Structure 1
Amino acid sequence: MPNGPLKLHRRCQAAIDRLELPHALSVEILCRYLAARRQRPLRLHPLPPEAAAAGTCGMWLATDTEDHVFYEQRTALLHQRHIILHEIGHLLFDHRTPLDGDTGWGMLLPDLDMRTVRRLLRRTNYTTEQEQEAELFASLLGTMISEPFRQQPGGVLGRLEAAMGVDSPHGTA
């Protein structure tokens, strides 16, 4: 289909345009904006190491009342941002994957009642139309982000920076 890539680009750009986003945009501002617009929390979480070991680098999980975006934290900040924007693309396009049987996610996310899960999409490849759409959406939206995604380091480094009042380049999520 010769018009496929062009139609995909137009669809993604139209979705971004409909958002009417503020000019000063960060991942954090985008998430707060979408949560307010959709009237449901949008929470960011580092991906559990077990999921990353299984080949997943991002995931969108929708429950009855809120959305959760998981991202691989053991990668560059720019890549983390792209993963989050990709998952937000799935969320905004309302992409669906059937939840058949035991997916094993209950073991990876033990605090989550899997009966409340309505959508669970994980990012592992780009062969489907949904994945290509989310990937292009993330690339286009990424050009509008004015600052990188930042996360406060944990452990000793995070506590040391906080105690010393150091303005970390990692910031907060």
Structure 2
Amino acid sequence: MGTGSDCPAPNGVTRQVRRTGEYTALRRRCTAILRDLGVRRSLSLDAVRERVEELRGRPLVLRELPEEAAATGACGLWLATGKADYVFYEARTAPLHREHIILHEIGHVLCDHHRSLTDDGEQPPGDLLVGLQPHLVTRLMARTSYTNTEEREAEMIATLIQSAGTAGRVAGPLGRLGAFLGVTADAGE
């Protein structure tokens, strides 16, 4: 399985979009989506997952991305069926990055993005659909780049959810180290 090094860095969308002047509009649009869905404050990943399940009336299943899929450069993927949503994520990366990947895919769910399996002619890699008949898969979104509006929206949703809980995080090198390791430290310690 990959190390996550092929995955886009969290918040990579901001550098690209800020240059084009679309950042403010994108942030406002995504903030409104979260507000309309009742996601107004910092929530744990489990709480976000529960909220999505409540909104969609079906399970949201989190699974590690199979090695074969990670080798293609995908680090996250949302797969929807008639009965459940599945979010696959790169497991061999820092905890904070892993959470960001999952939240990015949840961003696709919240924005109701969709692309059928035949839109680009590609099939999901390897063992991903074992036990699922492809015609039962209604939506499939894979996180590999930020080249379209749907990817930028999903990335902004993930960034907004994660950043809502960062007010107390330590700045500077210690904060960056804590973020990389997926831990936080109080400034007074």
Give the TM-score normalised by the residue count of structure 1.
0.76
Give the Cα–Cα distance (whole angstroms) in 1 for the partners of residues 56 and 156 of structure 2: 22
For residue 58 of structure 2, give the secondary structure of its aligned residue in structure 1.
coil
Question: Is residue 56 of structure 2 the alignment partner of residue 33 of structure 1?
Answer: no
Once the two structures are overlaid, the 10-residue window that deviates more, 4-13 or 55-64, is 4-13
Question: Is residue 155 of structure 2 the alignment partner of residue 135 of structure 1?
Answer: yes
Task: Give the alignment partner of residue 89 of structure 1, picking from 86, 93, 107.
Answer: 107
The equivalences for 1:89-168 within 5 A come to 89-100=107-118, 103-105=123-125, 107-145=127-165
Identity of aligned residues (%): 45
Aligned length: 148
**Counterpart position of 1:21:** 39
**Counterpart position of 1:12:** 30
1:47 shift after superposition: 0.6
For residue 85 of structure 1, give the secondary structure of its aligned residue in structure 2.
helix
Q: Is the 8 A contact 1:95 1:130 kept in 2?
A: yes
When residues 14 and 53 of structure 1 are mapped into structure 2, their CA distance, relative to the original with a 3 A threshold, is same
The residue type equivalent to 2:111 in the other structure is: F
> Which 4+ residue blocks in structure 1 deviate beyond 4 angstroms?
none
The residue type equivalent to 1:133 in the other structure is: E
Give the Cα–Cα distance (whole angstroms) in 2 for the partners of residues 140 and 22 of structure 1: 10
Give the Cα–Cα distance (whole angstroms) in 2 for the partners of residues 116 and 66 of structure 1: 11
How well do the aligned residues superpose, as a CA RMSD in angstroms? Answer: 2.4
1:105 shift after superposition: 3.8
Task: Give the alignment partner of residue 80 of structure 2, picking from 62, 65, 70.
Answer: 62
For residue 99 of structure 2, give the secondary structure of its aligned residue in structure 1.
helix
- CA deviation profile, 1:45-77 (whole Å, cap 9, x unmatched): 111111001111000000011101111000000
Give the TM-score normalised by the residue count of structure 2.
0.70
Question: Unaligned regions of 5+ residues in structure 2, if any?
Answer: 1-18, 167-181, 184-189
Give the Cα–Cα distance (whole angstroms) in 2 for the partners of residues 2 and 24 of structure 1: 28
Give the Cα–Cα distance (whole angstroms) in 2 for the partners of residues 107 and 23 of structure 1: 37
Question: Unaligned regions of 5+ residues in structure 1, if any?
Answer: 147-168
For residue 60 of structure 1, give the secondary structure of its aligned residue in structure 2.
strand
